[in-house]
């Protein structure tokens, strides 16, 4: 619904929903399949997640995770590469820095 409202579907290389996977978060299937569809190694991906199961799925996929603190505190989520309260707190330089972390 949001993609349609923003009229950005043509900008997306891949979109997935719960109907596209067999296993749901915290299983990493959705993230691994997403990376596969766009031809990117999981280690070169960043997941933005606001739930315990979503963060866990991203970590289990071998991806960097940015914890979005919209519904939980840092202490309520597994350890993330970075945390934000909203998307204004992240920029391209920060994304590149996160991707460079070992």
Q: Exposed (0-12), middle (13-18) or buried (19+): which is 5, by Cβ within 10 Å? A: exposed
| Per-position pLDDT tens, the chain of length 102 | 888 899 999 999 899 888 899 999 999 999 999 999 999 999 999 999 999 999 999 999 999 999 999 999 999 999 999 999 999 999 999 999 999 987
Residue ranges of the domains in the chain?
Answer: 22-100
CATH class of 22-100: alpha beta
pTM over 0.75: yes
Q: According to the model, what pLDDT value does residue 17 have?
A: 83
């Amino acid at each position: 619904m949001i993609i349609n409202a923003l009229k950005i579907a043509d900008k997306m290389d891949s979109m997935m929903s719960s109907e596209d996977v067999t296993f749901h978060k915290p299983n990493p299937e959705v993230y691994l399949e997403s990376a596969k569809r766009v031809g990117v190694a999981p280690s070169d991906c960043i997941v933005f997640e606001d739930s315990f199961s979503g963060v866990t799925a991203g970590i289990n996929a071998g991806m960097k995770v940015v914890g979005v603190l919209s519904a939980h505190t840092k202490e309520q989520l597994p350890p993330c590469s970075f945390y934000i309260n909203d998307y204004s707190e992240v920029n391209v330089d920060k994304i590149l820095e996160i991707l460079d972390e070992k």
